[in-house]
Amino acid sequence: MINSKPYPILGILLLLAATAMPMSADAVYDNGPINGVTDFWTINFGFAVSDSFTISGGSSTITGFSFGSVAFPGDHILSVELSITSSELGGTTYFDQVVNTTQSGCFVTQYGFQVCTASASFDGPTLRDGTYWVNLQNAVVDSGDPTFWDENSGVGCQSPGCPSQASTQNIGTIPSESFTLYGNSNGGTVPEPGSLLLLMSGVLTAAGMVRKIRR
């Protein structure tokens, strides 16, 4: 009879196979934490703000974005138009959609403004190593008030290529803003299909050997 209990060795091999699969989304570029009290830039009522970011270490598929939002107390940012382009506020467009946002970690500053982390998830583009620009505009607030992108000048940023460069269409160059881009890195961490099949073949062979031992 074949032992019906779980095979510890097979479980370990399957775990190893699973770790070769793509990992969940991680930060692919981080321009530093929210400041909240230095300055902020309007991202609705016809205004747009553009910040650069760098992809390094292999191509990455962008799946999320968070930024420091500034608003009047009690306001909620419902959505924002987010685009990724080859240059500030233009050039080749890799992504351009209105994305729904959620707010967290809100606090009110000594100047009476509400500062939050606004986050969005979406199916974004796959970008090769290089420098790109993320642009925010046409934000929608439940109250109809203006809303803003927090300026942090890239202080505390950890990613290659930081701090970001930044600009607006009406002023030009400005200090950069607080934001993080999330995604899945494709830079050599995911097995090629042939390699994955070979790995699974080895797992199945090992499973067969375990079954024979257990007979």
More confident residue, 215 or 3: 215
Q: Which pLDDT score is estimated for 79?
A: 98
pLDDT digits (tens, 9 = 90+) for 15-46: 333 333 334 579 999 999 999 999 999 999 99
Assigned CATH for 30-186: 2.60.120
pLDDT in tens, 194-208: 433 443 444 344 444
Distance CA(208)–CA(96), nearest Å, equals 50
Where in the chain are the domains? 30-186
What integer pLDDT is reported at residue 10 of this predicted model?
A: 36
Q: What is the pLDDT of residues 76-103, one digit of tens each?
A: 999 999 999 999 999 999 999 999 999 9
Q: Kindly provide the residue ranges of all beta strands, DSSP E only, lying in the chain, ordered along the sequence.
A: 26-30, 39-42, 48-55, 60-71, 77-87, 90-100, 102-108, 114-121, 126-127, 130-141, 148-151, 166-168, 172-174, 179-185
Supply the mean pLDDT for the chain.
83
pLDDT at 175 over 50: yes
